[in-house]
Amino acid sequence: MPEPNYNHVMAEIKTLDLSDQLRLLEEMATLIRRKTSQIKPRSILELKGKGKEIWKGLDVKTYIDEERSSWNG
């Protein structure tokens, strides 16, 4: 028997009556919540220092002035 794909599963779900579709939705939401609760939260602080070589030796005021002037077209 071939492994079901997304389109096959969606076609099968559409054949369910509304109460079964809602039950499936609730069970899937619970399953996804459980999986995502196991994922370690990320911190913005992990980005500290990333790309700093790009800014090395750059005059910040000149850069900002050039960016602002480009906004006006």
| Res 73: pLDDT | 62
33 assigned to some structural domain: yes
Q: What distance in Å separates the CA atoms of residue 60 and residue 66, rounded to the nearest whole number?
A: 10
How many structural domains does the chain have?
A: 1
Gyration radius from the chain CA atoms: 25
| Res 11: pLDDT | 95
Interval 41-68: pLDDT, tens: 889 999 999 988 988 899 989 999 999 9
Interval 1-31: pLDDT, tens: 678 899 999 999 999 999 999 999 999 999 9
57 assigned to some structural domain: no
The answer, as to whether pTM is greater than 0.75, is no
42 assigned to some structural domain: no
Q: What distance in Å separates the CA atoms of residue 33 and residue 25, rounded to the nearest whole number?
A: 12
29 assigned to some structural domain: yes
Q: Which domain holds residue 16?
A: 6-37
| Res 18: pLDDT | 97
